[in-house]
Each structure stands twice: as C-alpha cells, then as structure tokens.
Amino acid sequence: MVRQGGRGGRSVTRRDVAERAGVSAAVVSYTLNGGAPVAPETAQRVLKAVAELGYRPNQAARALRSGSTRTLAFLTLDADDAIFTNPIFAEYVHAVQRAAAERGYALYTASTPGGGRARTMQELREFASRQVDGVVLLASSEQQLDPAELDAVGVPWVLVNTEESPGGGNSIGADLFGGATVAMGHLFEHGYSSIGFVGDAPRSEPRRRAWREVCAEHGVEASPLFDVDFTREGGREAALELADLSSPPRAVFVVSDRTALGVLRGLHECGVRVPEDVAVISFDGSWESAYAWPGLTSVRQPIEAMAAAAVDRLISPPEEASHQVFPVELIVRESCGAHA
Amino acid sequence: MVRQGGRGGRSVTRRDVAERAGVSAAVVSYTLNGGAPVAPETAQRVLKAVAELGYRPNQAARALRSGSTRTLAFLTLDADDAIFTNPIFAEYVHAVQRAAAERGYALYTASTPGGGRARTMQELREFASRQVDGVVLLASSEQQLDPAELDAVGVPWVLVNTEESPGGGNSIGADLFGGATVAMGHLFEHGYSSIGFVGDAPRSEPRRRAWREVCAEHGVEASPLFDVDFTREGGREAALELADLSSPPRAVFVVSDRTALGVLRGLHECGVRVPEDVAVISFDGSWESAYAWPGLTSVRQPIEAMAAAAVDRLISPPEEASHQVFPVELIVRESCGAHA
DNA sequence: ATGAAAGCGCTAACAT
DNA sequence: ATGTTAGCGCTTTCAT
C-alpha cells in the first residue's frame, strides 16, 4: 500500500521534530527560519531530528500564517498553443522558471486560451486566491490590459514581451525599434534596395515603423507589406504571395522567427532560393533560427535577462512602476546573404 | 499606492462575506462548497455578497484544512534546456497544463537541471511540502528512478515518456516499438533497402530494436548506426558523417524530430537532397516536423491523450500501478519520398 | 536561549 | 437550515 501524499494527517510535523529533539515547537521554527537565536548544540539536535524524520515544513500552513507562498505565476495571454508553438515563448517560460527557482520560488504556469481580458482577470484572481507573490504576464498583441484593473486584484504583476503601455504599470520589452533598425541597416548595407515586410503588426508597431523609416532614409519605397498571421502558416502564405509577384522584393524583414520559419518553408516550396533570390532577416533569435535552413539571420532578444528582471521586479517591487527596455543583438547567419 | 497582494490582512475573508450576507461563516462555506444544504434565498444573499466583495477563498487556508491544494506539478528530469529546446517536451507540459486546468487543478512546473536522481528526489520532496496532489515526471533516458524511493516521498506520481520500468510504478509511454516498426515497414515498402539509424539509444531501446528486426526480416543488414546526441547538433553531426560515407544508406530512421531537424540541416549543408538522395523518417510528430523543409514524415505521439491520462492517474489513482502504452500514427510528408 | 500561546482563514463535525 | 466550534501546522509576540 502506497502512502498517499503528505496529507491525511500522516506526515511529520514540527511537533514530532520538537518532541524528538526535546525542545519546544517554537525552537524548531527558530532553528529553521532564524527567527531567534538558538544555542548551537540545540540547533544541532533539532537538525538531526529533522533529518531523521525527514521533516519538511507544511507550506500551506506557512503560507496561511505568513501570507507568502514563495510562489510566482506565469500567465500566457496568447492563443492557446502559442506557448509551445512559438519557441521564443517556450524559452520565456523556462527562463522565468529558472530565475524563480534560483531565488527560491516555485512557479505556476497557466494560459488563457483565447478567453480575452475577462478570462485573464479571472485567472489572475485565481492566482491571487492561491496567494502567489506575483504574476508574470506574457503579453499578446491581441489583448489590451488595463493596469488599474490589474492592480485592483492586489497581486504584484509585470507584463513582459511588450512595448511601453500608455496606461503605465510595470513592463519589460526588448528594443524592437532599435533592433529592427539595425537589421534593416544591415540589409541596405549589403546592397539590398527593395525590402518587404512580413508580419502581423499595426502601422505604429516599432518594427514596422523602423522598416518604413529606414526605407525612407534610403529613398526607397517601403513595400511590399505582407500582413499575415503571426504563425508559421502566416509566414508560408506570405512566401507564396511573394513568389507570385511580378517583381518580388530582393529581401524581406519578418517580425518573428516563428513566422520566418513559415516564410522559409514557403519559399522552398516555390523553389525560391534563400538568400540568392530573396534574403530573409528575422526577429527573436530563438534556437529555431539557428537550425533552420538556411540559418536564419535574426535579432536576438535577451530572454534570460528579461526573465530575471521580471522576477526581480515581482520579488522586490520598485518604488515606481515603469517600462524597462532591453538591448538586442543582430545574429548574422546565412539567410541574409552576408555571412562571412 | 498599489495594494500588495491578497496577503497582509487586507483581503476579504469569509467572515466579511458572512457579515454582509447576515449569516454565519459556515453558511458561506456551505454555499460555496456544497457541504450542507442551504436555503435558496440564503445562498442568493451569500453569492451576492461574494460578488460585491470580490471574495475568493484563501487557498492556503483551504489547503491546510483539507490537505488538498488542487495542484499538480510537472517535473522535467532532463538536461536543463530540453523542455523548451525539444518541441515535443514543450507540447507535453502544455498538454498537462491544459488537462490539469480542465479538471480544476493548477500546475507547478520545474526542472532539475542535470542534478541527477538526488536532485529529483529533493524537488519531489519540495513539492510534497507544498502539498501538491500529484507529480508528473517527464522521463529522461539518462536518469534511472527507483519507484520505491519515489513512493517513500508520499506524493502520487506518474512517469511519462517512458518504456515500462522493471521496478514497477505508474508510467505512460507511446508504442515506440510499434511505431518504429510501421515507419521501417513504410520505408521498405517504398523500395528503400539500406536504412540507417540515427539516435542516442541503447541496443535494447524499442525503436532501435524495431530498426534491427525489420531490417533482418527483409534480409538486409541494419547499418549504418549513428550513435549521436539527442539534440539538433547531434543530428547535424550524423548527417555530416553520412554525407562523408563512400556508400551512404538510401534512407535513415531518426529517433526524434529534434534530432531529425539537425539531420535535415546537416544534409542541406552538404548538398545532399532529401528525399532524392537520402530519405528521412522520424519520431514524435511535433509541429516542427510539419514546417521543416522538406516536411518531415514522422511517427506522431498522442501527446494530448497521454497528458490527460497522466493527470487522471494522479487525480484518481488506479488500484494497481501499471504501465500504459498509447498507439502512435505515421504521418507521411515529403521527407520519405512517398508523399502523394 | 527557550517556551507558551494566539491566531492566520478555512472545513467539517456537531449542536441546535 | 443554520450556527458554534475545534483544529489543520505554522510563525511570532510576549513571557520567562
């Protein structure tokens, strides 16, 4: 018969340890949490008893008492499967998980499968009732959040993968505009003078803005624009359209690796060579970009640093909420045709 | 000033609700949990108060009292980055997360970055002390677990992504042997008669066994064997080796999509055409395989079904521990050269 | 340096 | 049908 869980009154409690060590229950707590000085010899006995009994403090009780569960949550606000379908998102969860673990926090993960804002708030309240110490929200372009409404739940939160929100609040994002500018500059530098844009981005979106402005600086028209889904299939469709054009652009800038993978696939299908016929440059720098064929030149987002910053913000909230921008880095591979 | 969390004595408790609804605290509980009959009209008042106050039961208190947190944990026993680097693993976490959510459970995720068995046990105990109701362990080929040791922690567990363990315990896995047999059969059926094997698998591993046996049935030598890392880079190295052979095999069976992606990449680098020069068939059926170039023919693992089964096993443990095998399905795409 | 005891918010057994 | 009450295991204040 297998013992079923630490529950059911079977498990070792602080009382058992106290008895075995011949001290009061309080001393066990002191020894373990350093709430008060304990004689070295006493501590020794307590620790021995803890080890012998295999005692682990009941975290539910600790949480009830202290108000903190030493737990964070990660909430994906995107379409249901984005979190495992978009490698950069998967990397984000993992990085947050690691950052949390390093600081002694456990991590809940959840997603709101297309439920919109109401669903997000519901999930946030669920985590609040689970007494989490903070929530990392992975932004989606579709879902507009209201900082005030978020604050009202009473759980510290930070929004990642986002631009600065006019509503304020704590948020973290990569330097999209800067990265796209560098990428576009790289393309022009290497002699491409007709550059298309692939992605699901509104006119004002930083990457799209950078595309337009850098084109303007070089006196060429920013065109064509492929406004497609932020998925592999979206990228593939853009490629098919492109291949059908009478005078296709000589290069394309794609908003994300996930979409770019679809572009690559679509171009292959049509027999369009990369980079000989069309050069491709992309954004994210996920591992996927490294093993694509040809290797995808991409603007790398510093996921680890951003994840760590997000966790730190939750654990020690800054005086004032703000948006934090992280620098990006162009990783040159084969798809842009400029590889050494 | 932002309110900091549901903790700190600020939050709404069952008492507040009781007062506002003009009932005792117990009735609030009854209304919410159905522990006892409540007059419809009273229930109405309670629910109204709950809504007005935005009350959510404190889960720490509930857990302390009832012993159940309605929480599961997902623990990856693999190299640190496998969970986001291997798409099929990422899909697994997500599927478990969904299955758990559908049943009203939250999910912790964690990984044991190369810490070996001791680290795993430690993590398991950590979850036990957090009063989780069960743990899904995602197996790694490197780490051998001892069911008895696992049981001793006192948390229900189930091992997924594994073959039957001689030590017993609850486990779940896909029909590796059957799937590989079908894949190999498909290759022979389409006229390939020299088939290599790429993967990090011991002699007795089901996929490798199937490769050997099906080759034997067709009277051909099972060769060459590329014993490489279970990573993209491993696959790439195998491809480079293969391209260097004086008489390379006409097809290869690769143990996983992740490795196969590396193979594809390596073959492209060497100018080896797929499937014209070498056909490739793989295992997992992750989304990655669909958008590879050429589309990867792969044996699809029923991740969702296995994830759901894992969660069900934890929530309602079977009388007797056992290993459960799930059927797989061959998805034919371009890489095997047999696409319609 | 150590112990006694209050109480976190909840569920459930028992009383009405 | 509703109220009263005893803890769940812990941290922490206040005594000693």
SS3 call for A55: coil
Contact B287 A85 (CB under 8 A): yes
By C-alpha distance, which of A198, A226, A235 is closest to A85?
A235
Which is it for strands B195-198 and B171-174: parallel, antiparallel or unpaired? unpaired
DSSP bridge pairs for A198: A226, A254
User: What is d(CA A213, CA A219) in angstroms, rounded to the nearest whole number?
Assistant: 10
User: What is d(CA B208, CA B222) in angstroms, rounded to the nearest whole number?
Assistant: 10
Strand D nucleotides in reach of protein CB atoms, 7 A cut-off? 1-5, 7-14
Q: Determine contact, residues B315/B134, Cβ cutoff 8 Å.
A: yes
Q: In the A/B pair of chains, how many CB contacts fall below 8 A?
A: 185
Residue A80 has pLDDT above 70, yes or no: no
| Cα-to-chain-centroid distance, residue B120 | 16
Contact A291 B261 (CB under 8 A): yes
Q: Which amino acid does the sequence have at A305?
A: A
Residues belonging to chain B: 340
**Strand order, beta sheet including A329-331:** A225-226, A195-198, A251-254, A279-284, A297-300, A329-331
E-only strand ranges, B84-194? 106-111, 134-138, 157-160, 171-174
User: What is d(CA A83, CA A77) in angstroms, rounded to the nearest whole number?
Assistant: 9
B86-125 b/e with 16+ CB inside 10 Å = b?
A: bbbbbbbbbbbbbbbbeeebbbbbbbbeeeeeeebbebbb
Residue A4 has pLDDT above 60, yes or no: no
The pLDDT score that the predictor gives to residue A260 is 97
Strand D–CB B32 distance below 7 A: no
Residue A8 has pLDDT above 60, yes or no: no
User: What is d(CA B247, CA B169) in angstroms, rounded to the nearest whole number?
Assistant: 46
By C-alpha distance, which of A292, A237, A293 is closest to A263?
A237
User: What is d(CA A59, CA B108) in angstroms, rounded to the nearest whole number?
Assistant: 14
Q: Determine contact, residues B75/B120, Cβ cutoff 8 Å.
A: yes
Which is it for strands A225-226 and A195-198: parallel, antiparallel or unpaired? parallel
DSSP bridge pairs for B309: none
Residue A9 has pLDDT above 70, yes or no: no
pLDDT tens digit at each of 340 positions of chain B: 233 333 333 588 999 999 999 999 999 999 998 878 889 999 999 999 999 998 999 999 999 999 899 999 999 987 667 777 888 999 999 999 999 999 999 999 998 877 788 889 999 999 999 999 999 999 887 778 899 999 999 999 999 999 988 888 999 999 999 999 999 999 999 999 999 999 999 999 999 999 999 999 999 999 999 999 989 999 999 999 999 999 999 999 999 999 999 999 999 999 999 999 999 999 999 999 999 999 999 999 999 999 999 999 999 999 999 999 999 999 999 999 987 6
Contact B261 A93 (CB under 8 A): no
User: What is d(CA B174, CA A26) in angstroms, rounded to the nearest whole number?
Assistant: 50
User: Confidence class of residue A81 from pLDDT cuts 50, 70 and 90?
Assistant: confident
SS3 call for A72: strand
- Residue A123 DSSP class: H
The HSE-up count of residue B95 (CA atoms within 13 Å, CB side) is: 22
Q: What are phi and psi of B47, to 5 degrees?
A: -60, -40
User: What is d(CA B152, CA A206) in angstroms, rounded to the nearest whole number?
Assistant: 54
B chain contacts of residue A304, beta-carbon cutoff 8 Å: none
Tell me the H-state helices in B23-108: 25-33, 40-53, 59-66, 82-85, 87-102
Query: Residues B209, B215, B218, B219: what is their CA dihedral angle, to the nearest 10 degrees?
Result: -110
Q: What is the pLDDT of residues A187-224, one digit of tens each?
A: 999 999 999 999 999 999 999 999 999 999 999 999 99
Q: Which amino acid does the sequence have at B42?
A: T
Taking the alpha carbons at both ends of chain B, their separation in whole angstroms is 64
B chain contacts of residue A63, beta-carbon cutoff 8 Å: 60, 63
The pLDDT score that the predictor gives to residue B7 is 34
B chain contacts of residue A155, beta-carbon cutoff 8 Å: 5-6
Read off the pLDDT of each residue in A58-62 and give the average, rounded to a whole number.
Answer: 95
Q: Is the pTM of this model over 0.85?
A: yes
Is the CB of residue A148 less than 8 Å away from at least one CB of chain B? no
Q: What is the pLDDT of residues A310-326, one digit of tens each?
A: 999 999 999 999 999 99
Which of B7, B78, B133, B261 should one mutate to test binding to chain A, selecting the residue with the greatest count of A CBs within 10 A? B7
